[in-house]
């Protein structure tokens, strides 16, 4: 398999923050809004450099989404920033009507998604956001895997005209995607080619999938690792091409099994190319407080869980 | 310059359109748009005077209007058509399959004059604030108007928006509350008493102006006064008292006509009270 090296762990939210600052310099229409989490969202550099284009809305997410939608009328490209929970569940109807149905060019940027938020616990560990967002017509849904990809995605969505949900996280996490890797919305990224099993991974779980790939290789199993950073539109062609070759599938994501990436892939395969599939995701359960790595273990999202899923699905071929 | 008398004629014709549209669709909300017809006519024909031929989504270089209480769609559509955004005959398609005139205003169908979907209440003021801030960023000195219902103020998002607009000195914005005192389940006072709204708006830092919304002269004068108050560091809000169902005696001030369509006999009776001043669609 292709070897990926951790170039130094960094939080994906810092990729967002750095990109936002760059965007501010590149594009005078980029405007940022934040609901009292500027430091956590790493938006402080943008706020300092471009005070006239930074809007502090206070703890009022519904108003933030509405203001962002209004700013597009006038040609602005608003980036809203708050945690994934407050970016989606709290404001679903505002996003549905004022952003998605109205097809406004709003970029909803969400940090602290998933279990790896850690100690704050289930109230903040959003595990349903990909599902909620992908169900909305007009919405593009992106979940990058590391610092560099988050940075590239943040910049890429400015050139996409339409609503986008961009999801990233809190912890320092291995950074392994080359900084110059182009980010193509809706295009799956082949990380390591294989022939026995297709592993489709998104977000933080991509690194875990690569680690699982190494272990499987030691056992003589050739796993194909594909990074699905764009949940919607799903790169169906890449999924089907890989499954045609391997004949079985594992999906992995830091999200609820219901409504997540695996759910999208299963829907595609059921209609176009039925194949055995296992899903490594949270199974209909709220999270809890703890260290990110301990939580991933407890909820079945660790490297050995992916290995076990691959071995299980291989037997079902 | 259009006279008060001509504005009143337009408003009467708009009221005829509303009754006929809601009857034609066998669904919709007649009460609210009948009450606010004078305001909408004055705003388009006398105050904003936008150029329908130059409609763009961005609306740079012109005043903008947002309808937050989207169930007043019949009235807004009629005013847009009468003002020249689209052919008045399209009003007959209201709420019908494949129509651009959706039950609640939508951008998805490409109807000129509409920049934001509305219907789920409480979102319009936030949108209007965003549009007003974009105008400031673009050095565009035009104003943004937003009409909201009174019952709609029970949605918490409005109070987030009211706090924000004053705090951020969004002073190129005029919000208008259609204060008819009635919502679907009954009088506001019974459903959810809202207290002294004018005092609340003032306490939130807005310049509040009272207005009786079914007197064309007063509507025009108050809107001009509101314009004068813009650009002074404070957002402006008009507490517009209206009679729901104004112009049709059996609908007036009766909450049962909030979201019920008149049958053919009721429509005939209603139209007898509203002269065909401009010409029906």
Q: In the structure encoding, which two tokens stand for residue B95, read together?
A: 């709420």
Q: CB-based contact (8 Å) between B202 and chain A? A: no
Residue B22: DSSP 8-state: H
Q: Considering only CA atoms, which of A158, A137, A203 is closest in space to residue A19?
A: A158
Q: In the structure encoding, which two tokens stand for residue A252, read together?
A: 């992995």
Q: What share of chain A has pLDDT > 70, as a percent?
A: 100
Phi-psi region of A42 (alpha: psi -120 to 50; beta: other; left: phi over 0): left
Question: Does position A2 have pLDDT exceeding 90, yes or no?
Answer: no
Ordered structural domains, chain B, with CATH: 4-271 (3.40.50.970)
What lies within 8 Å, CB to CB, of A241 at 6+ separation is none
pLDDT of A30: 98
Q: In the structure encoding, which two tokens stand for residue B52, read together?
A: 């329908």
The reply to whether residue B117 touches residue A101, judged by beta carbons under 8 angstroms, is yes
Q: Which CATH number fits domain A189-315: 3.40.50.920, 3.40.50.720, 3.30.465.10, 1.20.1530.20?
A: 3.40.50.920
CA B7 – CA A145 distance, rounded (Å): 60
Q: Which CATH number fits domain A10-173: 3.30.1330.40, 3.40.50.970, 3.40.50.150, 3.40.640.10?
A: 3.40.50.970
Q: Average pLDDT, stretch A94-98? A: 98
Task: List the 43-102 stretch of A: residues with Cβ below 8 A of B.
Answer: 52-53, 55, 57-58, 60, 62-76, 78, 93-94, 96-98, 101-102
Quote the radius of gyration of chain A (alpha carbons, Å). Answer: 19
pLDDT of A195: 98
CA A156 – CA A176 distance, rounded (Å): 19
The whole-angstrom distance between B110's CA and the closest CA on chain A is 10
Question: Does position B45 have pLDDT exceeding 90, yes or no?
Answer: yes
Question: Does position B128 have pLDDT exceeding 90, yes or no?
Answer: yes
Question: Does position A79 have pLDDT exceeding 90, yes or no?
Answer: yes
pLDDT of A234: 98
Place of tokens 């499987």: A216
Residue A50 φ/ψ, nearest 5 degrees:
-130, 65
Residues of A carrying an active site annotation? 61
Q: CB-based contact (8 Å) between B121 and chain A? A: no
What confidence tier does A14 reach under pLDDT thresholds 50, 70, 90? very high
pLDDT of A1: 82
What confidence tier does A142 reach under pLDDT thresholds 50, 70, 90? very high
Contacts of B161 in chain A (CB under 8 A): 63, 66-67
pLDDT of A187: 98
CATH topology identical between A10-173 and A189-315: yes
Residue B213 φ/ψ, nearest 5 degrees:
-85, 5
The reply to whether residue B134 touches residue A103, judged by beta carbons under 8 angstroms, is no
Give per-residue pLDDT as tens, B229-263. 999 999 999 999 999 999 999 999 998 999 999 99
CA A63 – CA B130 distance, rounded (Å): 9
CA B136 – CA B128 distance, rounded (Å): 12
Residue B100 φ/ψ, nearest 5 degrees:
-80, -20
Q: What share of chain B has pLDDT > 70, as a percent?
A: 100
Q: Average pLDDT, stretch B59-74? A: 98
Q: Average pLDDT, stretch A156-184? A: 98
Q: Terminal CA-to-CA distance of chain A, rounded, Å?
A: 22
CA A43 – CA A146 distance, rounded (Å): 18
Query: Would you kindly state where each structural domain of chain A is located, as residue ranges?
Result: 10-173, 189-315
Partner-chain residue, chosen from A52, A60, A98, that has the shortest CB–CB distance to B123: A98
Q: What share of chain A has pLDDT > 90, as a percent?
A: 99
The whole-angstrom distance between A312's CA and the closest CA on chain B is 46
CA B156 – CA B121 distance, rounded (Å): 10
Question: Does position B189 have pLDDT exceeding 90, yes or no?
Answer: yes
The reply to whether residue A73 touches residue B118, judged by beta carbons under 8 angstroms, is no
Give per-residue pLDDT as tens, A270-283. 999 999 999 999 99
The whole-angstrom distance between B171's CA and the closest CA on chain A is 15
Partner-chain residue, chosen from B66, B132, B164, that has the shortest CB–CB distance to A60: B164
CA A258 – CA B163 distance, rounded (Å): 38
**How many CA within 13 A on the CB side of residue A183?**
25
Instruction: Kindly identify which residue of chain B lies nearest to residue A51, measuring between CA atoms.
Output: B137
Mutation test of the interface with chain A: which of B62, B69, B127, B161, choosing the one with the most A Cβ atoms within 10 A? B127
Instruction: Kindly identify which residue of chain B lies nearest to residue A75, measuring between CA atoms.
Output: B58
DSSP chain A: ---------EEHHHHHHHHHHHHHHH-TTEEEEESS-TTTTT-HHHHHH-GGGEEE--S-HHHHHHHHHHHHTTT-EEEEEEEHHHHTGGGHHHIIIIIIITT---EEEEESBSGGG-TT-TTT-B-SHHHHHHTSTT-EEE---SHHHHHHHHHHGGGS-S-EEEE--SSEE---S-TT----TT--EEEE--SSEEEEE-TTHHHHHHHHHHHHHHTT--EEEEE--EEES--HHHHHHHHHHH--EEEEEEEESTTSHHHHHHHHHHHH----EEEEEE-S----SS-HHHHHHHTT-SHHHHHHHHHHHHHT-
Q: Average pLDDT, stretch B105-115? A: 97
CA B37 – CA B39 distance, rounded (Å): 5
**Cβ neighbours, 10 Å, residue B99:** 17
Q: Considering only CA atoms, which of B226, B244, B243 is closest in space to residue B235?
A: B226
**Cβ neighbours, 10 Å, residue A51:** 10
Mutation test of the interface with chain B: which of A36, A63, A64, choosing the one with the most B Cβ atoms within 10 A? A63
């Amino acid at each position: 398999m292709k070897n990926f090296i951790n170039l130094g762990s960094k939080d994906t939210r810092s990729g967002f923050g750095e990109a936002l600052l760059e965007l501010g310099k590149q594009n005078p229409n980029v405007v940022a809004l934040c609901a009292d989490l500027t430091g956590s969202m790493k938006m402080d550099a943008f706020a300092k450099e471009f005070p006239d284009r930074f809007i502090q809305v206070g703890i009022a997410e519904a108003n933030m989404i509405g203001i962002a939608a209004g700013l597009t009328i006038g040609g602005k490209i608003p980036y809203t920033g708050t945690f994934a929970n407050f970016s989606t569940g709290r404001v679903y109807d505002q996003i549905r009507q004022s952003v998605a149905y109205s097809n406004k060019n709003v970029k909803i940027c969400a940090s602290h998604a998933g279990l790896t938020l850690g100690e704050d616990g289930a109230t903040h560990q959003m595990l349903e956001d990909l599902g909620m967002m992908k169900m909305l017509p007009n919405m593009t849904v992106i979940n990058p895997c590391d610092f560099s990809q988050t940075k590239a995605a943040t910049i890429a969505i400015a050139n996409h005209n339409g609503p986008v949900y961009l999801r990233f996280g809190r912890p320092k996490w291995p950074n392994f995607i080359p900084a110059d890797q182009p980010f193509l919305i809706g295009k799956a990224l082949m990380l390591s080619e294989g022939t026995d099993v297709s592993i489709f991974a998104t977000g933080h779980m991509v690194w875990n999938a690569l680690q699982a790939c190494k272990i499987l290789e030691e056992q003589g199993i050739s796993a194909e690792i594909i990074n699905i950073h764009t949940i919607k539109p799903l790169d169906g062609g890449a999924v089907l091409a890989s499954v045609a070759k391997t004949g079985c599938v594992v999906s992995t994501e830091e999200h609820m099994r219901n409504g997540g990436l695996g759910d999208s892939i299963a829907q595609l395969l059921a209609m176009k190319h039925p194949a055995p599939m296992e899903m490594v995701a949270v199974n209909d359960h709220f999270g809890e407080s703890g260290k990110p790595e301990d939580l991933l273990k407890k909820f079945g999202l660790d490297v050995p869980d992916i290995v076990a899923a691959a071995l299980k699905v291989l037997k079902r071929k | 310059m259009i006279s008060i008398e001509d504005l009143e004629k337009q408003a009467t014709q708009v009221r005829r359109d509303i009754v006929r549209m809601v009857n034609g669709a066998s669904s919709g909300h007649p009460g609210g748009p009948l009450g606010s017809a004078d305001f909408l006519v004055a705003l388009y024909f006398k105050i904003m005077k936008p150029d329908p031929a130059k409609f763009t989504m961005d609306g740079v270089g012109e005043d903008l209007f947002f309808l937050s209480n989207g169930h007043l769609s019949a009235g807004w559509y009629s005013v847009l058509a009468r003002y020249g955004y689209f052919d008045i005959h399209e009003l007959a398609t209201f709420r019908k399959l494949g129509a651009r005139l959706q039950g609640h205003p939508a951008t998805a169908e490409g109807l000129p004059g509409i920049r934001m979907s509305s219907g789920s209440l409480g979102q319009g003021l936030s949108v209007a604030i965003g549009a007003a801030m974009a105008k400031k960023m673009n050095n565009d000195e035009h104003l943004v108007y937003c009409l909201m219902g009174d019952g709609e103020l029970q949605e918490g998002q409005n109070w987030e928006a009211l706090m924000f607009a004053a705090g951020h000195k969004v002073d190129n914005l005029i919000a208008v509350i259609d204060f008819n005192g009635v919502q679907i389940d009954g009088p506001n006072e019974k459903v959810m008493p809202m207290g002294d709204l004018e005092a609340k708006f003032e306490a939130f830092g807005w310049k509040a102006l009272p207005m009786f919304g079914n007197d064309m002269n007063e509507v025009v004068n108050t809107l001009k006064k509101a314009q004068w108050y813009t650009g002074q560091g404070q957002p402006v809000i008009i507490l517009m008292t209206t009679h729901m169902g104004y112009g049709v005696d059996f609908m007036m001030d009766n909450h049962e006509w909030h979201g019920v369509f008149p049958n053919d006999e009721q429509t005939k009776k209603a139209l007898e009270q509203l002269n065909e001043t401009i010409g029906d669609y």
